[in-house]
């Protein structure tokens, strides 16, 4: 259910309806949001959303999800919550951790490909960067056969500026922790140009001591993200609708 605190954050971000529009009065935005959350948590087909819940039809909720994603509602919600966390010292900028996780894409669509860990079945991959506490900062969805190293700079540059404190908004961690899948000397140089210390294991060499103890938070964040069953398996052909669910889930985790 959408509690009052969550609704107070989201309601000002929603695009307004025209004062005079033909046809029946649209279903209330708060009810549609509850329907979207029901699908996100339970991973049911839109057409199977029970009408007796009072959230409107699955088609209505799907259209509202599309409308809100086009308006940037979920990305703005995530940014607002990051700013609130930063304002109370809830973000750990001393380090950031990144990793990737494969999911199956049942219906194909944009940014899908043969999964190297699932017998080449069609899938996608979530590339995640989080702060030292495990707060999700940025998630990028790609085809399943895209290497983690290719998304390193995109993840770092995609971190939204977190306001909430005096001075310029913060968007750069002090260091970036990664496993051997992110090993690349050119990327290390680019990170240093951004004044970020790369702490990334090298292929063919022993793992950096205690790196796993610091990087466990990214696995924890993936576990939280994929507890939303709609994100554990990708059903949306359109990438922007899948990313709408991802951004909403990141906001809820924050």
Rounded to two decimals, the pTM is 0.91
Secondary structure of residue 130 in the 3-state scheme: strand
Residue 21's pLDDT is: 65
Tell me the per-residue pLDDT of 97-137, one tens digit each, with 9 for 90 and over: 999 999 999 999 989 999 998 999 999 999 999 999 999 99
Structure-token pair, residue 14:
């929603």
| Dihedrals phi, psi of 36, to nearest 5 degrees | -65, -45
Q: According to the model, what pLDDT value does residue 20 have?
A: 67
Task: Extract the tokens encoding 25.
Answer: 């009065």
DSSP lists the bridge partners of residue 233 as: 104
Residue range 3-31: mean pLDDT, rounded: 85
Find out whether 81 and 160 touch, Cβ atoms under 8 Å: no
Cβ pair 53, 38 in contact under 8 A: yes
**Tokens, residue 73:** 């509602």
Does pLDDT of 65 surpass 70?
yes
Segment 223-231 shows an average pLDDT of 95
pLDDT, residue 185, reads 94
**Please, which pLDDT band fits residue 141 given cuts at 50, 70 and 90?**
very high
Report the pLDDT averaged over residues 2-17.
91
Please determine, for residue 53, whether its predicted confidence score (pLDDT) is greater than 80: yes
164 pLDDT higher than 90: no
Reference 79, options 175, 169, 176; nearest CA is: 169
pLDDT score of 181 more than 70:
yes
Name the token pair of 148.
């983690």
Q: Determine how β-strand 233-234 pairs with β-strand 96-105.
A: parallel
């Amino acid at each position: 259910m959408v509690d009052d605190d969550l609704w107070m954050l989201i309601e000002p971000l929603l695009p307004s309806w025209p004062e005079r529009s033909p046809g029946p009065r649209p279903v209330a935005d708060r009810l549609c949001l509850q329907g979207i959350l029901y699908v996100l948590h339970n991973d049911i087909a839109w057409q199977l959303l029970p009408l007796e819940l009072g959230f409107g039809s699955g088609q209505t909720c799907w259209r509202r999800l599309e409308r809100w994603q086009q308006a940037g509602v979920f990305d703005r919600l995530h940014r607002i919550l990051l700013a609130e966390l930063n304002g109370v010292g809830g973000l750990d900028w001393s380090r950031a951790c990144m990793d990737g996780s494969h999911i199956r894409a049942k219906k194909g669509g944009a940014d899908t490909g043969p999964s190297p860990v699932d017998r080449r079945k069609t899938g996608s991959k979530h590339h995640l960067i989080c702060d030292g506490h495990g707060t999700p900062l940025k998630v990028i969805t790609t085809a399943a056969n895209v290497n983690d190293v290719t998304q390193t700079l995109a993840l770092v540059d995609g971190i939204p500026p977190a306001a909430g404190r005096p001075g310029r908004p913060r968007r750069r961690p002090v260091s970036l922790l990664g496993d051997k899948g992110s090993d690349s000397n050119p990327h290390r140089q680019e990170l240093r140009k951004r004044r970020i210390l790369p702490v990334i294991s090298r292929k063919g060499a022993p793992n950096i001591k205690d790196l796993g103890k610091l990087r466990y938070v990214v696995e924890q964040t993936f576990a939280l993200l994929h507890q939303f069953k709609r994100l554990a398996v990708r059903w949306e052909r359109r990438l922007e609708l899948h990313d709408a669910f991802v951004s909403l889930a990141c906001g809820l985790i924050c």
